Amino acid sequence: MRYAYAITSALLLGGAAATLTLNPSDAQTAQNEPGAINATAAPRAGAPMSFADMVTRLSPAVVNISTTQRITVQQQANPFSGTPFEQFFGGRGGGGAAPRTQEAQSLGSGFLISNDGYIVTNNHVVSAGAEGATVESITVTLADQKEYKARLIGRDALSDLAVLKIDGANFPFVRFGDSRQARVGDWVVTIGNPLGQSGTVTAGIISALNRVGQGPYDRFIQTDAAINRGNSGGPMFDMQGNVIGINSQILSPTGGSIGIGFAIPAEQAKPIVDTLMKGASVERGYLGLMPQDVTEDIAQALGIAKDRGALVASVTPNEPAARAGVRAGDVVLSINGKEITAQQSLTYLVGRERPGSRVTLDVLRSGRRQQIPVTLGTRPSEEQIASQDERFDPEARPQTPRSSENLAATAGMIVQPLTPAIARSLGVDAAVRGVVVADVDPNSDAAAKGVKRGVVIRTINQQPVTSEADVTRIIQQARASGSKRVLLYAQQPPQNIARFVPISIDDRN
């Protein structure tokens, strides 16, 4: 499949970036005369007069990357099969139709990092773009229009990086710079292949640093330099001609550039690229727990500052965190002295450590801080992580246990003991202790937070609950202390992944 793009030219009115001299219609323009207005504009302080010399040096190292993909499409069965019309609508065959294949192409950018043909790009540039698709070939086109077939040396989906290799020698190449020295407001230049327009140069400034993306390890450089589809994998240069970023994503409601583009910092990319060039896979540290953000409600319930730390929702048995004694309900405040924040999440910081390294977690447990040393494991594949990380679904309809005669209304919830029979009917592990929600006031904050019939509550304010009396007592204690919230530790069958849920106990709500 080929994509055609319409290029529209426009005349800019009223906003030209040049000085305009107005003269009477019959006047001649003065040339080098005293008092004449000079139309040559000087650059702003710190701005280059032109990027041309730098671009001339760097462009030969920037490449276009295209893939040829084969897509298998399952055809629908012939509805006329077995009828007299079969010969007219579909020819031979039974009720099913053989799959057919289609060819598709993708376009992206990359850059040479060695004279023997190693190339860096985004993983998504050289990945199949649709279900049932396979990449059959990768073609690299240099600035002199020479084409080479490329081999995929290595890829890392989590960082969206890939390394290719073309055969040859004495290729022009560029080097990584130190993105840690980059500052908001610095000039940057990008070169790439947007919408198939090879060798396109755009310039802008760094708009922000450490932008958090959708992935656990995304910490992007944001720029207002124009980045469009096809720029992916191309370099972002500083004014010394060093690669400080790899263009990766844009934020746009239209699909085109609106001045919000993102690049993977060289600081993160270079170690991964070095590993991939050796043919090795990227390994990241792993604790084996499920962290939860400390929201304002959770922070108030725990009496800590919001947006600081990671609340441990669950711990995977026999993994590093569990072996070190980390428990559900702990709040991890820092790792090796580095604070856990929205920009530095627990997953991000742990992933930057080597498997097998020993780290120290600063943990808040029941109001007391303690240090827990942990030897990190190796992060499993994303498929394995996904199977462990099933999210609490407040809309799922649980199996309904029978009601008990002795029910207590507490913060809008009616609860009863979690008996072995009820636990079995809900698919809850026999070792779990708690109470099960029999009903919820639909106007309560508990209902608004997703607590519903069938939810198992294991602790409230990190105190175990096994009866209606426990629930009533803890909530009454919280109210007496002036607290407006309590923190439930609850799990929803059938996933049975426990989560912390802050609910209001304010009588006015």
Backbone φ, ψ for residue 140 (5° rounding): -110, 130
Say whether 504 is catalytic. no
Catalytic residue among 159, 198, 207, 232: 232
State the virtual CA torsion across 344, 345, 349, 352 in degrees, nearest 10. Answer: -90
User: How far is it between the farthest Cα atoms of the chain?
Assistant: 103
State the virtual CA torsion across 219, 223, 226, 227 in degrees, nearest 10. Answer: -10
Among residues 173, 163, 164, which one has the least CA distance to residue 282?
163
Strand 187-192 relative to strand 161-165: parallel, antiparallel, unpaired?
A: unpaired
Q: Provide the phi-psi class of 51: left if phi over 0, else alpha when psi is between -120 and 50, else beta.
A: alpha
Contacts of 436 by beta carbon, 8 Å cutoff, 6+ apart = 401, 415, 416, 417, 418, 422, 426, 454, 455, 456, 457
Question: Is 230 marked within a binding site?
Answer: yes
Question: Is 231 marked within a binding site?
Answer: yes
Question: Is 15 marked within a binding site?
Answer: no
- Asked if 100 contacts 75 with a C-beta cutoff of 8 angstroms, the reply is yes
- Asked if 163 contacts 120 with a C-beta cutoff of 8 angstroms, the reply is yes
3-state secondary structure 100-116: EEEEEEEEEEEEECCCC
Reduced to 3 states, what is the DSSP secondary structure of residue 493?
Answer: coil
Cβ count within 10 A of residue 265:
21
Among residues 397, 506, 380, 378, which one has the least CA distance to residue 450?
397
Question: Is 330 marked within a binding site?
Answer: no
The upper half-sphere exposure of residue 105, i.e. CA atoms within 13 Å in the direction of its Cβ, equals 13
Catalytic residue among 66, 106, 109, 124: 124
Which secondary-structure segment (H or E) carries 275?
A: helix 266-277
Question: Is 232 marked within a binding site?
Answer: yes
Q: What share of the chain is helix, strand, coil (3-state, %, to 5)?
A: 15, 35, 50
Say whether 248 is catalytic. no
Say whether 483 is catalytic. no
Among residues 378, 356, 295, which one has the least CA distance to residue 331?
295
d(CA 141, CA 121): 13
Backbone φ, ψ for residue 111 (5° rounding): -155, 145
List helix spans (H) across 370-432: 382-388, 420-426
Catalytic residue among 66, 106, 156, 160: 160
Q: Which residues are catalytic?
A: 124, 160, 232
**Known binding positions for substrate:** 124, 160, 230-232
Q: Which residues are annotated as a binding site?
A: 124, 160, 230-232
